[in-house]
Amino acid sequence: MLSLMQWMALEEKRWVKATDAEKGKDYRCPECEGTLHLRSGLARRPHFYHLAKSEGCRQAGKSEAHLEAQLYLQRCLEGALLEHRFPEVGRVADVMWPQKRVIFEVQCSPIEPEEALARNADYAKCGFQVIWILHAHRYHAAQLKSVERALLNYPHYYTNIDEHGAGMIFDRRWCLEAGQRRWMGEGVELEISQIVPQIPRWLGAVLPLRQRTEWPIYCAGDCSV
């Protein structure tokens, strides 16, 4: 089970990590703007918590694995920013990479297809393309989740990064048989920083490769070829 914690907060306009925060001091949630305090202990990783319950705040529901995936992406992508706010569309991006105008949305928890597509549309209004990183503990099963079906025409990959930061972001070939996904080969670790625009490629007969021709960008070395 992935424990839910919040790792980033604002002090004035400055980002503060939980590991750098002070107990008893007021911080601000980057999403709902509620007041946060630091919680830590000998057997507990430092993290922020809301003083008052904040319904619908996505920051409060992130797992340790979610944060570790964000930190992994930040290490791989020079100049990438965590929890970047887009007030014009009311969104906070997990990882924003200005160099390529790409946003990475890490998804460890359930999400409705409509919400995923709405995020894609909102960030497109800001001039950014979204690449979804779906956690394998929830989205790497034989039966496709509804959001996976909705994202077939949009860039998305998988991760198995755990709460300790071990793991990778990967791609994997698969096909559909009797409505079930059958994996073909092992996962291939991606060079996530090698993002290139879509060009005509030989795609073979493996699904969901037909849909991948619709992707505007992809990571070089993925399983499309």
Write out the chain in H/E/C secondary structure: CCCECECEEEECCEEEEHHHCCCCCCEECCCCCCEEEEEEECCEEEEEEECCCCCCCCHHHCEHHHHHHHHHHHHHCCCCEEEEEECCCCEEEEEEECCCCEEEEEECCCCCHHHHHHHHHHHHHCCCEEEEEEEHHHHCCCCCCHHHHHCCCCCEEEECCCCCCCCCEEEEEEEEECCEEEEEEEEEECCCCCEEECCCCCCCCCCCHHHHCCCCEEECCCCCC
Q: Are residues 107 and 162 in the same domain?
A: yes
Instruction: With respect to residue 1, please indicate whether it lies within any of the assigned structural domains.
Output: no
Pairing, β 27-28 against β 14-17: unpaired
Range of the domain at 28: 8-59
Q: Are residues 85 and 134 in the same domain?
A: yes
Q: Are residues 68 and 51 in the same domain?
A: no
Q: Are residues 53 and 115 in the same domain?
A: no
Q: Are residues 22 and 95 in the same domain?
A: no
pLDDT tens-place values along the chain, 225 residues long: 334 567 778 898 788 888 899 999 999 988 788 999 998 877 677 888 888 877 667 766 677 788 889 989 999 999 999 888 899 999 989 999 999 999 999 999 999 999 999 999 999 999 999 999 999 999 999 999 999 999 998 999 999 999 888 999 999 988 888 888 888 889 999 999 999 887 655 444 454 545 787 899 999 888 876
Domain count, the chain: 2
Residue 209 to residue 186: CA distance in whole angstroms: 17
Q: Are residues 126 and 170 in the same domain?
A: yes
Instruction: With respect to residue 52, please indicate whether it lies within any of the assigned structural domains.
Output: yes
Which of the listed residues 39, 59, 79 is the one where a domain comes to its end? Answer: 59
Q: Are residues 143 and 41 in the same domain?
A: no
Instruction: With respect to residue 3, please indicate whether it lies within any of the assigned structural domains.
Output: no
Q: Are residues 44 and 82 in the same domain?
A: no
Predicted local confidence at residue 224, as pLDDT: 75
Closest CA to 175 of 204, 151, 199, 154: 204
Predicted local confidence at residue 197, as pLDDT: 86
Q: Are residues 104 and 20 in the same domain?
A: no
Peptide bond into 208 cis (omega under 30): yes
Predicted local confidence at residue 53, as pLDDT: 74
